[in-house]
Amino acid sequence: MKVLVIGTGAREHALCRSLSLDPDVSALHCAPGNAGIAEVAELHPVDALDGAAVTALAQRLGVDLVVVGPEAPLVAGVADAVRDAGIPVFGPSGEAAQLEGSKAFAKDVMAAAEVPTARSYVCTTPEEVAEALDAFGAPYVVKDDGLAAGKGVVVTSDLDEAKAHAAACERVVIEEFLDGPEVSLFAITDGDTVLPLQPAQDFKRALDGDEGPNTGGMGAYSPLPWADPKLVDEVLQTVLQPTVDEMRRRGTPFSGLLYAGLAITSRGVRVIEFNARFGDPETQVVLARLKTPLAGVLLAAASGNLEDLPPLRWSEDAAVTVVIASHNYPGTPRTGDPITGLDEVAAQDAPHAYVLHAGTKRDGDAVVSAGGRVLSVTASGKDLTEARERAYRAVTRIGLDGSQHRTDIAAKAASEAR
Ligand code: AMP
Ligand code: GLY
């Protein structure tokens, strides 16, 4: 099978790594990719938001499957263009990707499907905002309605800050605060059959102890030793399947990866958000544990044959990933700094630990930073403690001037599981 992956982050590197290890994959392409992906896939320049350009590339390469990684091309309808050309594509249509593209749309689908989520108001004027904030009280949760790379949400007890964020957005969703730990659960679906993956937890805040601003995600781990073993089944029954069924009922079936961001509250599981693609950095740890070769699973979803697929096989190992981010991330990051130590990790820590590239590019012989999140250092182990030790050992070998990373990824879960 020849596969083309669209995107450029650590998630795409994780997808490409798994696909490159799949004996069914005879050729692997990625566009536009990064310096790390170049080691496992052939890179091609493309405007990932241009459906015609992506389709032309897929046709020229003669691929059997296109996998669209990020949300922006999905919302822009890139999967529709590829599918219209008769090429199987893993990723929802532009209309179905509105589950991620519009928080208000997602709320509407959840209401129709009776999926448990935070109570919310959609507001467009300062008066509506003030009223909604008053109705729920602190802590306030204010969400930009549109795509914001995980950074459009402000959770604060400061009323002025909540109002200021709302004023900076055109349309906002204001909702009740959900307490309790967060879980990311991904499901692969062909629009009908829903196949949940293993749950993971993401660390969204920039600094240790969940301090600092929200980011795209600073690290992740899987499995969740503290979670109820029935969680996946419960979320399949109450969230994932009803949502997929509702999308099909609306005439906009959702196929691809449905990502449920969940809060495990004192009153039960609630959906915080949906995403229409693999999450980053959770994908890095979920795929580290998936034993079933990936290409066949993605192709089955893309071609509507998920029902016939044997159950997925999972490793008993735990996986941890630690994101190394640029100076000043999640603000405007500094880029162009050389990265050192990649060869040392490959020589000394493989195969248990490895570096997935997020924002990197080649500059002559050097690999340099090219984005906010630069690397995602991933490791497996017999438990979270061992996976953490391996990941952080590899992190210490990496040099990147001014970089930052959290030191507490999976720390609490590892110590509780002992
Ligand atoms: P989202 O982009 O919707 O995933 O929100 C980003 C982050 O903001 C989430 O991962 C949560 O940590 C936090 N958040 C979002 N909605 C809520 C809520 N209703 N209650 C508490 N925290 C929230
Ligand atoms: N890990 C958060 C996201 O992918 O949106």
Q: What is the pLDDT of residues 115-134, one digit of tens each?
A: 999 999 999 999 999 999 99
Pocket of ligand 1 (CB under 6 A): 118, 141, 143, 150, 153, 155, 175, 177-178, 182, 204, 214, 261, 272-273
Pocket test for ligand 2, best of 262, 275, 373 (most atoms within 8 A of CB): 275
Assign 148 a pLDDT band (cuts: 50, 70, 90).
low
**How far, in Å, is the centroid of ligand 2 from the Cα of 127?**
31
- Average pLDDT over every residue of 247-259: 98
**Domains of the chain: residue spans and CATH:** 2-90 (3.40.50.20), 121-175 (3.30.1490.20), 181-308 (3.30.470.20), 318-417 (3.90.600.10)
- The closest alpha carbon to 282, from 152, 382, 185, 212, belongs to 185
* Ligand of minimum distance to the alpha carbon of 283: 2
Which residue did the predictor score with more confidence, 153 or 67? Answer: 67
* Token pair of 90 as six digits: 């893993």
* pLDDT score recorded for residue 151: 60
- Average pLDDT over every residue of 96-115: 95
pLDDT at 92 over 90: yes
* Token pair of 195 as six digits: 């196949």
pLDDT at 150 over 60: no
* Ligand of minimum distance to the alpha carbon of 281: 2
Q: Where are the alpha helices (DSSP H) in 47-158?
A: 51-61, 71-75, 78-84, 98-101, 103-113, 126-136
pLDDT at 319 over 90: yes
pLDDT at 337 over 70: yes
End-to-end Cα separation, the chain, in angstroms: 43
Pocket of ligand 2 (CB under 6 A): 150, 202, 217, 275, 279-280, 282
**How far, in Å, is the centroid of ligand 1 from the Cα of 153?**
7
- Average pLDDT over every residue of 351-372: 96
* pLDDT score recorded for residue 324: 98
pLDDT at 171 over 90: no
pLDDT at 18 over 80: yes
- Average pLDDT over every residue of 364-385: 97
Distance of CA 392 to the CA centre of its chain: 21
Pocket test for ligand 2, best of 282, 283, 284, 323 (most atoms within 8 A of CB): 282
Beta bridge partners of 263: 182, 270
* pLDDT score recorded for residue 170: 82
pTM for this structure? Answer: 0.94
Where is average pLDDT lowest: 95-109, 151-165, 314-328?
A: 151-165
Q: How many residues does the chain have?
A: 418
* Ligand of minimum distance to the alpha carbon of 181: 1
pLDDT at 149 over 70: no
Assign 146 a pLDDT band (cuts: 50, 70, 90).
confident
* pLDDT score recorded for residue 169: 85
Helix (H) or strand (E) run with residue 391 in it: helix 384-397
Pocket test for ligand 1, best of 136, 267, 272 (most atoms within 8 A of CB): 272
